[in-house]
Amino acid sequence: MIRKTFENEIQQVKDEVLLLGSMVEHAIIASVEALKKRDIKGAEKIILEDKNVNKKRFAIENQLMILIATQQPMAHDLRFLASTMEIISELERMGDYAKGIANINIRMGEESLLKPLIDIPRMAQIGTSMLHRSLTAFINEDVAAAQAIPIEDDEVDALYNQIYRELMMIIIQDPKSIERANWLLWVAHNLERVADRVTNICERTVFIATGEMNEIKSSDDEFWKGQQH
Amino acid sequence: METNEIPQYSIETKDLSIFYGTFKAVSDVNLLIEKQKITAIIGPSGCGKSTLLRAFNRMNDFVPSSYVTGKVLMGGQNMYGANIDPVEVRRKIGMVFQKPNPFPKSIYENIAWGARINGFKGNMDELVEQSLRGAALWEEVKDVLQKSAYELSGGQQQRLCIARTIAIQPDIILMDEPASALDPISTLRIEELMQELKKNYTIIIVTHNMQQAARVSDYTAMMMLEKDGSRSGTVIEFSETKKIFTNPKDKRTEDYVTGRFG
């Protein structure tokens, strides 16, 4: 095989992306767990660890830049390197959502949760499962999986919708609860965005494998459609 | 489609095959070379790129036993037709070679000579200046026009050869590895010049340098030996350059442009 060195370097990039993905996955689950338990120390730890996520993203970005500059990638190689640049940026932003949830947790201070968390952990669980499988599809360039995963976003959107309505009802009944409801709404919003960004990763995976750049589906539209009824 | 949207082609080949005696060097090429665009021909060594290029101005005529089948249409007329004068074909289709080959004469004469034997009767000083300007060489040589062309650097000599080509006002310029003997700066200068030249001329370039093809050309033809073991070369994919280098359709093109061929 010619270009063995280049192929090894591409493999290394893939390993690093998986590592970044697992850091983000862990941060999302941990942020919701910490919120559920009102664990402020846990939330602070997530905020600190987000710095490592950012560092890892910049390190991979640097690696990609060097490969583009030195290897003159073409065709599939070029699509892979350019798309991976996008994917690591998606992952970093997902890490920011986990950090955002941790920040809400800290800002809530002594306040108790407005309601026990049931749907929010489910959103986190579905979102991280989608994330995990989207990265497996990315590594294997599995087009079928990459096209199927975004459909699960509907479930996340439905949960978000449900949480939204529930919180609105609580606010109407007790306007003093507005701040605490708003915190939870932001948490749910962050998790809803995680699933949206998984869709972006899947779109890139299809592009790497086929050269076709298509939007798989826009879940934002689904959500806003839901709001009209 | 609107009539004004139909692209204009400088050259159109129809089932063009090129033979040396019984050996079929290039087989069944069907290409549409768009006017005032740069078309690159790429592919591994020995796949017939230069042979195909030379068929476009009947240079292969100089090789005994060589002949073609199929057609090469220029302005709708087959340049291999019975009543066609190959000299007239070559006047319309200039060629720049791998190694700069100026005449052992002054810079001025390098341009004037070809024009003169082609019957140019106008203002020769003007033609020389215009051609040198067209080849982005005028500023460097305007004060030394009587110097021997051999005193110029390799890159300058190549631009002089381009000036000499455009002095006879061809429609098409063929370039066979025009920068492969030049340093990187001279190479980039030639590439920049090509972008200027395509405003007036159609350019077809053969290059081993894929990055060069990617940088300069609008269309790329990928050549490869036929799979049947006949040692004949053919065009396996012809498309817009941006497609060839981002999403080629043929696996062999993909392997070649990503450096995995062989």
Give pLDDT, residue A1.
52
Give the model's pLDDT for residue A217. 74
Query: Is the predicted pLDDT of residue A180 greater than 50, yes or no?
Result: yes
Domain-located, residue B165: yes
Give me the CATH number covering residue B96. 3.40.50.300
Q: What is the pLDDT of residue A110?
A: 87
Contact at CB, B258 and A79, closer than 8 angstroms: no
What are the helix (H) ranges across A108-177?
Answer: 119-140, 143-148, 153-173
pLDDT at A227: 56
The predicted structure's pLDDT at residue A101: 98
Counted across chains A and B, CB pairs separated by less than 8 A come out at 36
ipTM score: 0.74
Q: What is the mean pLDDT of each run of 10 residues along chain B (262 residues)?
A: 62 96 96 97 94 95 93 93 92 94 96 90 95 95 97 96 94 95 91 94 95 94 89 95 94 93 69
- What are the pLDDT digits (tens) for A143-154? 999 999 999 999
Q: For A51-61, what is each residue's pLDDT tens digit?
A: 999 999 999 99
B247/A1 touch (CB, cutoff 8 Å), yes or no: no
Q: Which runs of consecutive H residues, i.e. helices, occur in chain A?
A: 4-36, 40-71, 75-107, 119-140, 143-148, 153-173, 178-210, 219-228
The range of the structural domain enclosing residue B51 comes to 9-257
What pLDDT is attached to residue B2?
Answer: 44
Whether the CB-CB separation of B94 and B170 falls below 8 Å is answered with yes
For residue B46, being part of any structural domain is answered with yes
Encode pLDDT of B226-246 as tens digits: 888 888 999 999 999 999 999
CB contact under 8 A, A3 and B259: yes
A211 with B210: Cβ contact below 8 A: no
| Residue B218 domain flag | yes
- What pLDDT, on the 0 to 100 scale, is given for residue B6? 53
Residue A226 region by backbone torsions, left for phi larger than 0, else alpha for psi between -120 and 50, else beta = alpha
pLDDT score for A229: 44
Q: Is the pLDDT of residue A65 over 60?
A: yes
Q: What is the number of structural domains in chain B?
A: 1
Question: In angstroms, how far apart are the furthest CA atoms of chain A?
Answer: 69
Does the residue B3 lie in any domain? no
pTM of the model: 0.84
Of B211, B247, B262, the CB nearest to A75: B247
Q: Looking at the domain assignment, is residue B244 inside a domain?
A: yes
- What pLDDT shows up at residue A36? 96
**Statement: residue A104 has pLDDT above 90:** yes
Name residue, tokens 């006949």: B230
A72 interfacial to chain B (CB closer than 8 Å):
yes
Residue B161 resides in a domain: yes
Reply yes or no on whether the pLDDT at A107 is more than 60.
yes
Mean of pLDDT over chain B: 93
pLDDT 10s digits, B7-29: 589 999 999 999 999 999 999 99
Tell me whether residues A2 and B260 touch, CB distance under 8 A: yes
Determine the Cα–Cα distance for residues A135 and B115; give it in Å rounded to an integer. 65
Residue B148 lies in a domain: yes
Most B CBs within 10 Å: which of A4, A9, A71, A74, as the mutation test of the B interface?
A74
Hey, which residues 191-220 in chain A have their CB within 8 Å of chain B?
211
Instruction: Examine residue B207 and state whether it is found in any structural domain, yes or no.
Output: yes
